[in-house]
Structure 1
Amino acid sequence: MWSLAIFWLMGWAAEAHTHNFRTWQAKDGLQQNIVHDIVQTEEGYLWLATAAGLVRFDGVSFERYASIDEPGLVGDRVHDLLLDRQQRLWLATDLGVSVLINGEFRIISEEADGVSQLALAVDDTVWAATFNHGLQQLPLQGFVPEDTAPLHCVAVSVPRRHVWSTCRDGGGIASRLDPATGTTTLLEFQSDEEFTETLALDDGSVLVGTTRRLYRWKHDRLTPLPLDGIPSLSVSSLTKGPDGNIWVGSRTEGILQLTGDLEVFGFLEGAPDHPLEKVFHDREGITWLGFAGGGLVRATPNHVATLPRGPVGPDKSAVFAFRDDDGGVWSSISSCDGVTRTTPQNVARVTDLPTTCVWAMAEMPSGTMWFGGWRGGATRYDRNARRVVENLLPVTEAQAVLALHPDEQQRMWIGSTLGVDRWEEGSLTHVDAIPQVDVRHIFEDNDGSMWFGTMDGLFHLVGDKVRRYGAADGLASGVVRHVVSDGDVLLVATYGGGLHYLAGDRFRRIGAKHGLTDDFLSHIFLDQLGYVWVSGNGGLCWF
C-alpha cells in the first residue's frame, strides 16, 4: 500500500521557500551527471559544461559535442562556460580553451594541464585561470602579479573593472588586479579559505564568496557578512534572481537566498542532496541548477498568494478556480457573487451572466469560456469581446449545471442535476444513456470514453453503452466528486468514502485508516513527478 504524507496548509510559514524540482540525469539522456556550468544563448538553448563534454539542451533532448567529432573542440572535460557580448561561447576545458562562433568550434589556446575558469572584463577581454600557467588574458597574453609567481589558478572573476583570482604556489593567494595600471592587491582571507566567486551589487560594492563564507568589498575593505546561525559556506555560485534576491550556491549547504540588502531570506528547501556547482536564471526567469553527481535540475517556485480584499479575497470563499490559456485565473464565489478574472495587472468582474451562482467553468480551444451554475443553465462567453454568446438549457429551479468538460473532438459535455447533455457545432443533444442523476464531475479517458461522477455512483460511457459503478463494485460512497487517470490507474475521490482506484472490474479503497486526512474528498491532482495529491475536508495529502 502507498505511504502518505500529510500537509496542514494553515501552518506553513512565510519563510518556507518551497520549489518544484525536475531532474535530468544520465537515465534521461544527459550524458554525464556532473554539470559544472550553465549558460543560455540567444536562440534559447541551454549549454552545459559537463565532465563528458559540451551539451546543448532544448528543453526536451540533449546533444553532446565531443572533440572526436569537432576538431576545434580542444578538450572534452569542460570546467566552465562564458558567453560574451557577441554571443560567442567560450569553453574552459582540461586541455585549453575553445570558442564556438556561428556553429564552428575554434581552438584559442592549448594548455596541457587545462583551464579552470573564465571571466569577461568590461572591455571584453577574456581572462582565464589556468592550471599550470597562472592567470592569462586570451588569446595567450600571460600575466604574473607583482612579487608572486602563481602557477595553479583555480578561480577568476571580473565583477567590475578589477580582476579577482585565486592562484596557488604552495599556498592559496587571492588577488585583485587593476588591468589599467597592472597593480595587484593581495586579499587577506583566513588561511583555510580561498576566493571562489564575486557578484557586483547595485550600490557599487562587490559580494565575495570563498570556500568558507561570504564577504562584502566596499570602500576598499573586505568585511564578512554577519550570517548568524548559518554554517560555513563553500560558495560555488553567486547570481541575482528574477525576484531581486541574491542566490548563493554552496557545495556544502545547498542554496541560500539573501535580500537585496544582504539580509538572510532563507534556504531553498527540497533541493537535491548533491554538491551544487551552478545556479543560473534563464531569460524566462526559470532557475536551473547544475550539480556534481546530481545532473541538471529545474527549480520552479510554489507560489501561494492572497488577493487583496475586494472582488476576490480572504473575506470570500472561492468554490471554483480555472486558469485560461492566457494565464488569467477565473474564480467563482460561494456567496453567489459571480465570476472574476484575475491577472497580475487587474481583477475584472463578469457582469452579464444569467446567474451569479457559478459552479463550473471550462474553455474551448477557440478561447470561448463556458459557465454553469444554479438557475442559470450553461453559458458560452467570448472572453475577448467580454460578452455572452449563447445561453443553453432551460433556466429552471430544478436544473443546475455543475460540471463542464470539453473533449478531444471539440464537443462540450454538460453535467447537470438532470443528467448529461452534449454540445457539438452549435447543436445540443441530451445523452439518454445516462439517467437523470445529479452529475458533479466529467472526465475523458485516454481511449475517448467518458466517466461521470454523480450523487448516485460513477457512470462509464463507452460509445452508446453505459455502466454504473456503486457499492456492489467496491465504491464506499455513491457521492463521486472527482475522477482522474494517469493512463494506467483510474482514481476516484468520493465524499464520505475516501479515495478509490479501479483494479480490474472492482474498486479498491484508500481511506482515513490508511493515512488520508479524512474520507470526505473533493479533488485529485497528479503532478509531473508522479505524485498523487488529494484534498478534502481534512486538508491536503500526497502519496
Structure 2
Amino acid sequence: MKALSSFTLFFLLYLFSSECIAQPYVKLSFPQVSDKGLKVNNDNLITFWNTENGLPQNSVNDIVQRSEGFIFFATNDGLVRFDGVRFKDYRFQDYPEMLNNRIKDLFIDKNDIIYLVTESNSISAFRDEKFTVIAQGNYRRNFGLFSVTHDGNVYYDDEQHRLIKYSGGKRTQVSVPFNTDLAQVRKMLIRDEARMIFIRTDSTFIWDNGKLISLRTRGVPGKYSLPHTTSDDNRFLLNDGLAVYEIKSGRITLLINYDQEYGEINDVLGVGSDTWYIATGSGVLQYKNGKIISVLSTLNGLPSDVIKSLLADNNGGILLGSYDAGLIRISERVFKSLNVSHGLKNESINPVLIRKNGNLLIGTNGSGVFELKDQKLINELFPGRFVWSLLETSDNSIYAGLASNKIAVKSPSGRFHDINIPIERGITPTVTTLFEEKQGIIWIGTTIGLYKLENEKISLLPSQTGITFHIHDIRRDPSGLIWIAGQDGLIRYDGKKFRRYDKNDNEGLSYVRTIFTSGDEIWLGTYGNGLIHFKNGKFTRITHRNGLFDNSISSIHLDNQGIFWFSSNKGVFAVDKREIDNVINGKETRVSFIKFGRNDGMISRECNGGFTPSSAADKNGMLYIPTISGVVFFNPAEVKKEKLSTPVIIEGYEINNSFFNFEYQRNLELPFGNDRITFYVNSPYFNDNHNLLYKYKLEGFSDSWVWQSYMNNVISFTSLPPGKYKLHVKAYYAFRENEANETSLEITVLPPFYLTGSFIFFLIIALI
C-alpha cells in the first residue's frame, strides 16, 4: 500500500471531523395582510374582506369548505383559498385547466375534490393543487346543468341536451328515467340514478326510486337553486326564489313561505333543527318557527345588502358571499359595549363600580355618573361633573371623586352635597381614589398625597408617612393590611405605621396604577413597567421581555379558572396564573397570552386607567372595563379558549427561490449545499386567530422549541449539514399547549459527493 501524502491525510481527516453549524432562521415579520374591515353591534361580530384586503374581486358567488378547514370561494376573477389570514388566488392564466376566471358555482364531494362551474358553463375539478377539465362549455348553451354526487360522480348536459355522467375519467350517456326535455330544465340535482330532481320554469319533477312526483312552484324564473353540498342523506332542499321546500323520502314539506318584501331568495342555510338564514337582495334574514325574527343589512352592519351565498364554517361562524363587498363573516360577539346607543351621553369613561344592589355605576369625563341595571340606563348622578373615582360606603352613600378638589356625595336619603378638599402648598388636588377604612372614616387619594375624612373633618397625612405623591389605588388584603399605590411606589399600612417600597426595592415601582390582592400575594399593575408580584418581602417584575402583551396595565382581575385578565392601552389580554407562577419561581422565562381588541368586538381597544375602580365584576362573573369609547363588558367564562379542530399542515418548502408544494407529505430528501430552506405551515382558523401560536423544533439539530405568532407561517433554516432530521410543528391556542395539534416531517439532507462512501472508497483505491 502506498503511503498517504500529508495533504491527503489532512483532507480526509477534515472531511470526517468538521461540523457545519446550522442556525435556525425565523422570519418574525408578519406577512403583508391588510387589516380586515370590521363592524359590530352587541349581538354579532361582522368581519369582511374585500379587494383592499387582498381579494382579486368583490363578487363572491359561491363558498365551500374542505374538511381540513380551508375556505374556497368563487369570484368573477378566479378561485380563492382562505385560511383566516391569507388569501391564495387561482386564475386560468396560471392554471389553464380552469378554462375561465368567472366562476359562478362550486361543489365539493366527500373526498374534498372541488368542482368549478364557470360562466361559460365549463366544468373542472380541483385537487392537490391541480385542475382537471371535465367539460368545456360555451356561452351558447341555454342553461348548463350540473350536479355532483357525494361520491364525486359529475352529471351535466351536453350541447345536444343529453345527460352525461363523468366518473373515473370516463364519460357515458345516461338515460333520463322519465320523459322530459333537458332543454327546458333550469336546475338539476342527482344523488344517484335512482334519485333525481329536475326543475323547469313551471314545475319540478322528482324521481325517487321509481316514483315520479310533480311539484308546481311559484318562484321567479332563474332564481331556482339547490344546495351545493353533496351530502349522502335522503334530504333535498329546493329554493324556488320565494319558498323553500324539503324533499325527503318522496315527501314534500314547505319549510319557508316567503313574501317579496326583501326580494327573491338567493340562498338558504339551515342551522339547527328550526333556524334558517336566508340570503336576499336586501340582506340576510333569520327565520325561525315560521317567521322572520331578525334582519341583518347595511342598516346594522353589513357592508352590502345583496348576498348571493351562505356557508356555516367549522368554527361556528356564518360566511356570506356578497355581490359587491367581498367575503363577510358573522360570528358571536363575546365582547360587548355600553355607549351612546345605550343612553350614555359621554363615552369617555373613567371609573366603573358594581353597587351592592348589583347596579353598575359609570363615571365619565364631563357627564357625571350613569347608573345602569341589566345594561339599561335608570339614573343619572352628578351631571356635568368630571368623575375620577367612585365609592359606595357601608351606609350605601355614593361618593364621586372629581377632577378638582371636590367629592360629590349622594346620601341614602337622596341628598346631594359636595365635600371640599383643602388646597395644600398652593396646589389644587384631584381626587383619584376613595377607600373606606371603616364606617365613618374615608381615605382620599389625590394627585398630591393622601387625605383622611373622619367626623366630617379632612386632614392631609403628614409627610412622615412617606405619602407625598400621586395616589392611584388603595386596597385591603385578606389579612387586613392596607396597601397604597401611586406614582412613586407602594406603601403598606398595618394599622400603626406606614412602610414604603419604591424603585430602590424594585425598579418597576416608579408608577403603580392598580392593586390586586389574592391570599398572601400582592399584584401591581404599572404604567410602562409591567406587572409586579410581591410575596414574603420579595418583588418580581414581569414585562414584555417575559412575553407580557403590554407593559402598561390599568386593571387586574383573576377569574375562577385561574386566568388573569388585564386591561391596557393595547386592549384586554389574559394570562394563565400558572405560567406567571412558573416565571416567578424560575421554572420558565416567558408567558403566553390571549389578546382582544377591535377584531373581537371592542369599539376601541384602548382601556382607561389611573382611576378607581378601573374594572368591576358582578355576581354573575360579568367583567366591566372602561375605555375611551364606552364600557366593554364580557364574561371570562364565555370567552372561547377552544381546542383547535383543524390539523397543522406543512404546505410546502422554498429552496433556491423555487417553491415546491406538498400537502400532508411526511418525508423530504434534499441535496447538500442549500444556503436556506423555508417551510410554509398552516392551520386554518377563523375566530380570534391572533391568539394562536406555532411552536417548532428540528429534531437532530436542536431539542429546543421555538414559538412564533400564527400570523407568521414561515419557518427557515440555514446551512443544514448532511444528516437526518425531523421537523415538528404545533399549533395551539395560547396557554393551552397541552391541547396542541402537531405534525411532523422527516428530512434527509444528502451528503456532498465527496462525502459519499463510494467516492471515499474510490479515492482510497486511487491513492493505494
Taking structure 2 as the reference length, the TM-score comes to 0.40
Question: CA offsets, 1:57-77, max 9 Å, x none?
Answer: 122222221222113222221
Pair 1:274-2:309 in alignment = no
Pair 1:155-2:187 in alignment = yes
- Cα distance in 2 between the residues matched to 1:100 and 1:452: 50
Say which of 74, 87, 94 aligns to 1:49: 74
Shift of 1:296: 0.6
Shift of 1:536: 9.2
2:69 and 2:83 in contact (8 A); partners too: yes
Q: Report the 3-state secondary structure (helix = DSSP H, G, I; strand = E; otherwise coil) of the residue aligned with 2:52.
A: helix
Question: CA offsets, 1:201-231, max 9 Å, x none?
Answer: 9997654321122334468565545758883
Pair 1:88-2:120 in alignment = no
Say which of 369, 373, 376 aligns to 2:477: 376
- Cα distance in 2 between the residues matched to 1:143 and 1:315: 75
| Counterpart position of 1:212 | 242
Q: Report the 3-state secondary structure (helix = DSSP H, G, I; strand = E; otherwise coil) of the residue aligned with 1:60.
A: coil
Shift of 1:290: 0.7
- Cα distance in 1 between the residues matched to 2:360 and 2:315: 30
Q: Report the 3-state secondary structure (helix = DSSP H, G, I; strand = E; otherwise coil) of the residue aligned with 2:315.
A: coil
| Counterpart position of 1:188 | 216
Shift of 1:22: 1.2
Say which of 167, 180, 199 aligns to 1:166: 199
Number of residues of Structure 1 aligned to a counterpart in Structure 2: 374
| Counterpart position of 2:631 | 535
| Counterpart position of 2:205 | 176
Shift of 1:25: 0.9
Deviates more, 1:89-98 or 1:261-270: 261-270
Q: Report the 3-state secondary structure (helix = DSSP H, G, I; strand = E; otherwise coil) of the residue aligned with 2:100.
A: coil
Shift of 1:246: 3.7
> Residue type of the partner of 1:18?
D
Q: Report the 3-state secondary structure (helix = DSSP H, G, I; strand = E; otherwise coil) of the residue aligned with 1:151.
A: helix
Deviates more, 1:53-62 or 1:215-224: 215-224
Q: Report the 3-state secondary structure (helix = DSSP H, G, I; strand = E; otherwise coil) of the residue aligned with 1:91.
A: strand
Pair 1:429-2:506 in alignment = yes
Q: Report the 3-state secondary structure (helix = DSSP H, G, I; strand = E; otherwise coil) of the residue aligned with 1:92.
A: strand
Question: CA offsets, 1:146-200, max 9 Å, x none?
Answer: 4432326543335797333334xxxx1443343754x654430127455323599
Shift of 1:295: 0.8
Say which of 126, 138, 153 aligns to 1:125: 153
> Residue type of the partner of 1:535?
V
Shift of 1:121: 3.2
Pair 1:284-2:323 in alignment = no
Question: CA offsets, 1:504-541, max 9 Å, x none?
Answer: xxxxxxxxxxxxxxxxx96117xxxxxxx31299xxxx
| Counterpart position of 1:103 | 129
- Cα distance in 1 between the residues matched to 2:260 and 2:357: 39
1:119 and 1:156 in contact (8 A); partners too: yes
- Cα distance in 2 between the residues matched to 1:134 and 1:401: 83
Pair 1:399-2:495 in alignment = no
- Cα distance in 2 between the residues matched to 1:233 and 1:157: 24
Question: CA offsets, 1:482-518, max 9 Å, x none?
Answer: 755899x99674899xxxxxxxxxxxxxxxxxxxxxx
1:131 and 1:151 in contact (8 A); partners too: no
| Counterpart position of 2:329 | 298
Indicate how the Cα distance of structure 1 residues 295 and 21 shifts in structure 2: closer, same or farther if over 3 A, else same.
Answer: same
| Counterpart position of 1:251 | 280
> Residue type of the partner of 1:162?
R
Indicate how the Cα distance of structure 1 residues 214 and 437 shifts in structure 2: closer, same or farther if over 3 A, else same.
Answer: closer
Say which of 264, 269, 272 aligns to 1:239: 269
- Cα distance in 2 between the residues matched to 1:131 and 1:444: 72
2:46 and 2:329 in contact (8 A); partners too: yes
| Counterpart position of 1:33 | 58
Question: CA offsets, 1:326-358, max 9 Å, x none?
Answer: xxxxxxxx999xxxxxxxxxxxxxxxxxxxxxx
| Counterpart position of 2:724 | none
| Counterpart position of 2:6 | none
Identity of aligned residues (%): 18
Q: Report the 3-state secondary structure (helix = DSSP H, G, I; strand = E; otherwise coil) of the residue aligned with 1:256.
A: strand
Pair 1:523-2:551 in alignment = no
Shift of 1:109: 1.1
> Aligned-residue CA RMSD in angstroms?
5.5
- Cα distance in 2 between the residues matched to 1:422 and 1:71: 71
Aligned 1:329-340 pairs, distance under 5 A? none
- Cα distance in 2 between the residues matched to 1:116 and 1:421: 80
Question: CA offsets, 1:364-383, max 9 Å, x none?
Answer: xxxxxxxx994338xxxxxx
Shift of 1:32: 0.8
> Residue type of the partner of 2:305?
H
> Residue type of the partner of 1:375?
R
- Cα distance in 1 between the residues matched to 2:277 and 2:605: 43
Aligned 1:387-536 pairs, distance under 5 A? 397-399=481-483, 429=506, 431=508, 433-434=510-511, 442=526, 444=528, 483=569, 493=608, 523-524=626-627, 533-535=629-631
- Cα distance in 1 between the residues matched to 2:486 and 2:360: 15
Alignment gaps of 5+ in structure 2: 1-39, 337-355, 362-391, 395-472, 494-498, 517-523, 531-542, 545-549, 556-566, 572-596, 599-603, 612-623, 634-768
- Cα distance in 2 between the residues matched to 1:490 and 1:283: 27
> Residue type of the partner of 2:111?
Q
Q: Please identify the structure whose Cα radius of gyration is greater.
A: 2
> Residue type of the partner of 1:429?
N
- Cα distance in 1 between the residues matched to 2:258 and 2:501: 63
Shift of 1:89: 1.4
Deviates more, 1:40-49 or 1:438-447: 438-447
1:33 and 1:295 in contact (8 A); partners too: yes
- Cα distance in 2 between the residues matched to 1:275 and 1:263: 21
| Counterpart position of 1:506 | none
1:482 and 1:523 in contact (8 A); partners too: no
1:17 and 1:267 in contact (8 A); partners too: no
2:475 and 2:515 in contact (8 A); partners too: no
Indicate how the Cα distance of structure 1 residues 191 and 264 shifts in structure 2: closer, same or farther if over 3 A, else same.
Answer: closer
1:247 and 1:255 in contact (8 A); partners too: no
- Cα distance in 2 between the residues matched to 1:231 and 1:289: 20
| Counterpart position of 1:380 | none
- Cα distance in 1 between the residues matched to 2:149 and 2:66: 19
1:420 and 1:430 in contact (8 A); partners too: no
- Cα distance in 2 between the residues matched to 1:264 and 1:124: 36
Shift of 1:38: 1.2
- Cα distance in 2 between the residues matched to 1:296 and 1:256: 17
Indicate how the Cα distance of structure 1 residues 254 and 398 shifts in structure 2: closer, same or farther if over 3 A, else same.
Answer: same
Question: CA offsets, 1:98-145, max 9 Å, x none?
Answer: 112322211111122377674333565333477984765335435557
- Cα distance in 2 between the residues matched to 1:87 and 1:258: 30
Higher relative contact order (CA 8 A, sep 6+): 2
2:204 and 2:217 in contact (8 A); partners too: no
Shift of 1:34: 0.9
1:317 and 1:335 in contact (8 A); partners too: no
Structure with more of its chain in strand, by fraction:
1
Shift of 1:252: 2.3
> Residue type of the partner of 2:196?
V
- Cα distance in 1 between the residues matched to 2:163 and 2:475: 74
> Residue type of the partner of 2:114?
L
